[in-house]
Structure 1
Amino acid sequence: MAIPSSYLSSIPILTGDNYQKWVEDLKLHLGLLDLDLALREPKPSPLTNNNTTEEKTKFEKWDNANRKCILVVKKAVPETIRGNVEVKDTVVEFLNAIKVKFELNTNAESSDLMSKLMNPHYDGGNVREYVLGLATIAAKLGDLDIKISDDPVVHIALHTLPGPYKVLQSTYTALRDKWSLDELISICTQEERKLKQNKVESANATFHRGSSGGPIRRDKKFTKKGRFNPYGKTRGTQQSKAS
């Protein structure tokens, strides 16, 4: 089967800082092309005169997939990098050789992600997106062989949310059962909705109190009639005191 040029053009070119995404996209496309057999199964034993027809067919299928995989990988690696990596006999060995060249970048990426997870900053935006962002960082660390369970991510999220969400911290601390990330996102979303509703109701209540008899200033209501008499004294009273 020929490899469609559209598949090749959609695979990102390997650079110094996109190795992890490059590997993920590459494997995805090889799977869509039905070439990932060479990634999933080891190289079969060399053929001999004693092999059965089934074994020969299996070897030829694997060898064809492996050869095309190597071509795709070479296409997705720029010449400046490819010149420093020895092309191996199998695509798995070839990818491992490329990985070695980027191990330092992987370590730097791991450190950067860990720093972002341990020192997050909530900017007051959508709380669901904030928690999902932390979950995404944890997932990326998992891809780099640093497994992060839900518990520390939930703990970090709860203790970096601002004051209005402190009640969730107390509730979580008091519970014996831990929340999953999905549960935390659902609970935080409900709490965010409730806080917004309370804010709207409070603003409406303040507006109605102020508009019932004119604007409120220094706890005194300024009506149209007494606009120039802020302390509630009548003109007659002022005149009698003056006399």
Structure 2
Amino acid sequence: MLEQKELLAKWKMSNRLSLIAIKRTIFGHLLSGLLEKATTKKFFDALGKRYQVSDNVKYECLMKQLMNIKYDNVGDVREFIMKMVHIQTKLKSHQIDFNEKFIVKYALNSLPTNFTQIKIAHNTIEKLKKEKNEYTKFMFKHQF
């Protein structure tokens, strides 16, 4: 029984010191209105509930980022496209999946007019792929 009391006293002291250390690392305005006297677990639970971000807010923020992203002639085009793919990957984690062709078309359309050659080259390649597929189907159909 005496050991349990000593253990409990040590636990309370440890908890109190942990809480003090944690509160010192958090800005004061974020602490206002939270429990002054609580265990570390209760403190973190209250802090988590207060600053919990819903999935809908994350989804909306990611969608706005994707729809408003424009190439600003800073950095290379590859970095810009990688940003878009990164946002697309985050959206996939929220069960929102965009077709890869859509992302590519959207990325190309968001480039400034001085990238017209890239757009034309991409469209030409896509057209050739489509024609190749149609030709292959035609040949396969008439071979038998």
Task: Normalising by structure 1, report the TM-score.
Answer: 0.31
Could you say which structure has the higher helix fraction?
2
- Structure with larger Rg: 1
Which structure carries more relative contact order (alpha carbon 8 Å, separation 6+)? 2
